[in-house]
Amino acid sequence: MLNQLNKKLISSLIMNNAKVLDIGCGNGELLYHLEKTKSINGQGIEISPKGVKESVSKGLSVIQGDADIDLVNFPDNTFDVVILSHTLQATHKPKEVLIEMLRIGKKCIISIPNFGYWKYRMQMLFFGIMPITRTLSEPWYSTQNIHLCTIKDFINMCESLNISINEAFRNTTYSIKKVNKPNSYMNNLLSIEGIFVLSNDIN
Amino acid sequence: MLIIYFNIETKIKRKKINNIKDKIQKIFGPIKLSLEGGQTLKGTTIAYSTWGALNTEKSNAILICHALTGDQFVTGKNPITNRNGWWESIVGPNKIFDTNKYFIICSNVLGGCMGTTGPSSINEQENVQYGMKFPIFTIKDMVNLQLALIDSLEIDQLFSVVGGSMGGMQALEWASSYPERVYSSIPIATSYRHSAQNIAFHEVGRQAIMNDPNWQQGNYYNKEVKPRHGLSVARMIAHITYLSEGAFQEKFGRDMQSKVLSWGFDADFQVESYLRHQGISFVDRFDANSYLYITRAMDYFDLSHSYDGDLSAAFKNTKCKILIVSFTSDWLFPSSESLAIVKALNKTAADVSFIEVESDKGHDSFLLEVKDFYEILSGFISGAARKKGI
């Protein structure tokens, strides 16, 4: 459900034949979908050998690499769109990764799990445990998500870096809708993830 | 008695080598080949084998480039060794490189000893084998000769060029020097330049050959004796570098040939016996001078050299799809070498895939059945074929 919604939204944000980089592309599902539906010229980066293997086996161009290290190799504005779907929180230097993304991509689509989502807050408040859900499925000791944040935290970081958010979307798990005030209290509470479109021409 | 035995053995070998030419399926040439070193090699011929059929669009050709001691007999029975081809497991009908679908070409490299012009060929000006008078050549010269062959087959663009180790160097050279002539390139377990350690190993091998008194400054072709010991030692050294510490340990451990020690220098350990066998069986199928020249070509290889060390400049026109594969236990061409190529390709925003495959079998992994490696190759090839509409 979540994945399908996400896929549909990201797909709607990408123009046909675009040159797209998917950072942390996993098994290449999204790139594969975009190649089929949008005829994109796709490239992926994935840290796990299993993900790379599955992606390349689908005929995708994917390198085994690390978002923290390997983005610096790409020249400015290489890609029409750079996608970072549920990966920023797993990087060592999220701020630097974001800056690099905006350097190499004309448009960036970022989604992050929102730690401010009401169910997560409930788990913390009533059970006193780190939230475990479908999107954040690993316990604290084995999770790769080392830099979790809320929608509000993310927007604050963007503001501090003078990065404007072009568009933002709310995912309530049942639907994804565009929001006009992404930094509102309600958005931070009701959205299981934050989805943002940033572009580098407004810096 | 022993001397007679060796004489007979040598004669049989010579007869065998004379027969090689008859057994080689196809020859292109002679042509005049201009070499990077400035010399021109007249009367150059290239021996090659093909499988499958070229389609009417001539869009389904795959060039397989062999490694240092490989040959054009990729699949099927090798007519010289009577053993299966070196990539038998992935080249053939319904295999990864499907001969029902693709037109597969593999040629013996320049300087080789399986039918392509090399030091053991007759220098027509002097009517005797070249020996050390053969000019020094490079990986690019090998590729230029392949290019002449591809031109003669009227193939404008190869669907893919693929190779491991020195074959990978050729695949990279194609992608760099003739980018418009290849749709995809698959350099495996290779590097854009030979490292100091690799040059060092090659130098030991060459010294072993050249210090064998039977080498005779390379003029051994019409003599009774050949530098068998030198070439055999060179092969033994090289063979160690093709495996890994783990592979040796797993394969042999400290297993003995017999239960009692010889208290001498016989091959007590199975690993010794194995290496000796590798060395001895190699000299029957390979020419010592070819070994000298081809290792030199690998040592001279440095794609970044013509671009002041800027490797990405070597790929500035490279638009083909590239798949780079390295293996975790390969210490001869470690993953760091492949990563340097990936970085350079990213700088040019090339269409590149890279994976470091988990394998404990060392450099030789590319010749062995490593499941993940095969799956990746297969996926890449079928994906590229889909995109090209083959």
Domain that holds residue B215: 194-300
Tell me what pLDDT residue A136 has: 80
Query: Would you call A70 and B378 a contact, using CB atoms and an 8 Å cutoff?
Result: no
In this prediction, residue B6 carries a pLDDT of 45
- The answer to whether residue A58 neighbours chain B at the CB level (below 8 Å) is yes
Residue from the list B321, B349, B380 with its beta carbon closest to the beta carbon of A75: B349
Q: Do residues B71 and B65 lie in contact, with contact meaning Cβ atoms separated by under 8 Å?
A: no
Query: Is residue B351 annotated as part of the catalytic site, yes or no?
Result: no
pLDDT digits over B309-358, tens only?
999 999 999 999 999 999 999 999 999 999 999 999 999 989 999 999 99
Q: Which of A60, A75, A78 is opposite residue B383, by nearest beta carbon?
A: A60
Residues 6 or more apart in contact with residue A10 via CB below 8 angstroms:
A30, A34, A83, A85, A109, A111
pLDDT of residue A172: 87
Give which of A106, A98, A200, A107 is closest to A149, Cα–Cα: A98
What's the pLDDT tens digit per position in B134-147? Answer: 999 999 999 999 99
Q: What is the mean pLDDT of residues B47-53?
A: 96
Which residues lie below 8 Å from residue A191, measured CB to CB, with a gap of 6+? A114, A117, A151, A170, A171, A172, A179
The answer to whether position B225 is within a domain reads: yes
Q: Tell me, what DSSP letter sits at residue B55?
A: -
Give the closest residue to B97 by CA, choosing from B389, B387, B374, B360: B374
Q: What is the pLDDT of residues B256-293, one digit of tens each?
A: 999 899 999 999 999 999 999 999 999 999 999 999 99
* CA gap B78, B261 in Å, rounded: 38
**Burial class of residue B193, CB neighbours in 10 A (0-12, 13-18, 19+):** buried
Is some CB atom of chain A closer than 8 A to the CB atom of B372? yes
Average pLDDT, chain A: 91
Residue type, position B151, single letter: D
Q: Which of A19, A22, A35, A53 to mutate to test the interface with B (most CBs of B within 10 A)?
A: A53
**Chain A interface test: which of B311, B345, B355 (most A C-beta within 10 Å):** B355
pLDDT at B10 over 80: no
For an interface test with B, which of A22, A50, A55, A63 has the most B Cβ atoms less than 10 Å from its Cβ?
A63
Smallest Cβ–Cβ distance between A53 and the set B347, B352, B372 belongs to: B372
* Chain B residues near residue A78 by CB distance under 8 angstroms: 349
CB contact under 8 A, B353 and A63: yes
Residue of B nearest to A47 (CA): B355
Of the two residues A173 and B3, the one the predictor is more confident about is A173
Distance (Å, whole) CA B115 – CA B132: 18
CB-based contact, B342 to chain A, within 8 Å:
yes
CATH number where B227 lies: 1.10.1740.110
B346 touches chain A (CB under 8 A): yes
Domains identified in chain A and CATH numbers: 2-202 (3.40.50.150)
CB-closest option in A41, A56, A75 to B355: A56
pLDDT at B154: 97
On whether residue B208 sits in a domain, the answer given is: yes
Question: Is the Cβ pair A52, B353 closer than 8 Å?
Answer: yes
Asked whether residue B201 is domain-assigned, the answer is yes
Structure tokens at B205: 């091998």
Give just the sign of the alpha carbon dihedral A153, A154, A157, A159: negative
Residue B287 domain flag: yes
Å from B320 to nearest chain A CA? 11
B18 in a structural domain: no
- CA B372-B158-B24 angle, to 5 degrees, is 90
ipTM metric? 0.88
At B80 the pLDDT is 85
A59 and B382 in contact by Cβ < 8 A?
A: yes
Q: How far is CA B153 from CA A168, B61, B98, in A?
A: 56, 10, 20
pLDDT per residue as tens digits for the range B232-241:
999 999 999 9
CB contact under 8 A, A75 and B375: no
Is residue B11 scored above 80 in pLDDT? Answer: no
Task: With cut-offs at 50, 70 and 90, classify the pLDDT of residue A174.
Answer: confident
Mean pLDDT of B350-377: 96
Q: Is B176 a catalytic residue?
A: no
| Strand-pair partners of B40 | B34
Is residue B363 annotated as part of the catalytic site, yes or no?
Answer: yes
Residue B163 CA, chain-centre distance (Å), reads 8
Judge whether B257 is closer than 8 Å to chain A, CB to CB: no
Per-residue pLDDT of A55-81, as tens digits, reads 998 999 999 999 999 999 999 999 999
Contact (CB, 8 A) for A173 and A192 = yes
**Residue A8: predicted pLDDT:** 87
- Give one DSSP letter per residue of B199-236, joined into a string: HHHHHHHHHHHHTSGGGGGG--TTSS---HHHHHHHHH
Give a yes or no: residue B350 inside a domain.
Answer: no
Q: Do B346 and A52 count as a contact with CB atoms less than 8 A apart?
A: no
Quote the percentage of chain A above a pLDDT of 70. Answer: 97
Look at residue B190 in the predicted model and tell me its pLDDT: 98
Model pLDDT for residues B72-92, shown as the tens digit of each residue: 999 999 988 889 999 999 999
B97-138 per-position pLDDT tens digit: 999 999 999 999 999 999 999 999 999 889 999 999 999 999
Q: Evaluate whether A112 touches A193 at the Cβ level (below 8 Å).
A: yes
Which of B346, B379, B387 faces A74 most closely, judged by CB atoms? B346
Q: What pLDDT score was predicted for residue A7?
A: 85
* Mean pLDDT to the nearest integer, B45-50: 97
Kindly state whether residue B258 falls inside one of the protein's structural domains. yes
Average pLDDT, chain B: 93
Whether residue A2 has pLDDT greater than 50:
no
Domain total of chain B: 1
CA distance A101 to chain B (A): 14
- Interface probe for A, chosen from B159, B354, B380, B386 (most Cβ of A below 10 Å), is B354
Within a domain: B157: no
pLDDT in tens, B181-220: 999 999 999 999 999 999 999 999 999 999 999 999 999 9
> A41 touching B, CB under 8 A?
yes
**Does residue A149 sit at the B interface (CB-CB below 8 Å)?**
no
pLDDT at B20 over 70: no
Distance from CA of B382 to the nearest CA of A (A): 7
Q: Indicate the pTM of the whole model.
A: 0.92
Which position among B141, B212, B302, B330 bears the catalytic label? Answer: B330
